[in-house]
Amino acid sequence: MLSALSKMDPDWWVELESNYRKRIVQRKQLHEAHGKSILDCTPGSEAACRELMEMVIQFLCMRYPNQFQFDWRTGMVVNQILKTQYDVDKVEPLTFLLDNVPEDFLITQKDEKTGLYHLRAGVCCSAVGWSLGIKMGMPLHEIHGPVPDYKEKMQMSMDRCVSVTISQSQC
């Protein structure tokens, strides 16, 4: 059994399943109905959102080359499944993710004053009973406050895992 803090297999970071079109339609409908409770970012997170979008585009084009193409000269991403295209210089990064990827993404950033990681941006359509709008800006331990035994059993390893993961990605 894998724990929530186990290392992710990068080959399966984003999976496209047979219900891909339906999931994307649902995500767009949820965003239309719930706005910032589904998709939001705080000032200062723009570069992280863009970096995430670029990483996802690169992954999609490598993993699913018949379904996604990127023309580096024009900056256009083509989604052959949905018959859509996006100019990466003009699209909001989280909107691109909402419109093309059936996964949720949350971005945390370190608060330089406290050293704690806070939720700064994300697109989250799948979490039952969880609202991005309510959790935005909170440190990890506050976000997970309702989780039974979080503080006693998981907080230290979660903080360490996020810190190590982020440090490694900046290398």
Residue 124 above 90 pLDDT?
Answer: yes
Average pLDDT for residues 112-129, to the nearest whole number? 88
H helix or E strand, kind and range, residue 97: helix 93-100
Could you identify the residue written with the tokens 């993993």? 63
Q: 27-44, pLDDT tens digit by residue?
A: 999 999 999 999 999 999
Strand partners, 118: 109, 139
Could you tell me the two tokens for 7?
Answer: 């290392």
Tell me which DSSP letter residue 6 carries: S
What is the rounded distance in angstroms from the CA atom of residue 144 to the CA atom of residue 161? Answer: 15
At residue 161, the pLDDT reads: 55
Q: Which has more confidence, 127 or 76? A: 76
At residue 114, the pLDDT reads: 86
At residue 154, the pLDDT reads: 60
What is the rounded distance in angstroms from the CA atom of residue 77 to the CA atom of residue 82? Answer: 12
Q: What angle do CA 120, 21, 51 make, to 5 degrees?
A: 30
At residue 165, the pLDDT reads: 47
Share of the chain above pLDDT 90, in %: 61
Ordered strands of the 84-87 beta sheet: 68-71, 76-79, 84-87
Question: Residue 167, Cβ neighbours under 10 Å: how many?
Answer: 10
Name the band, by pLDDT with cuts 50, 70 and 90, for residue 151.
low
Average pLDDT for residues 102-131, to the nearest whole number? 89
**Structural domain boundaries of the chain?**
21-169
Range ranked top by mean pLDDT from 5-19, 99-113, 126-140, 151-165: 99-113
At residue 139, the pLDDT reads: 86
At residue 170, the pLDDT reads: 45
- pTM beyond 0.85: the answer is no
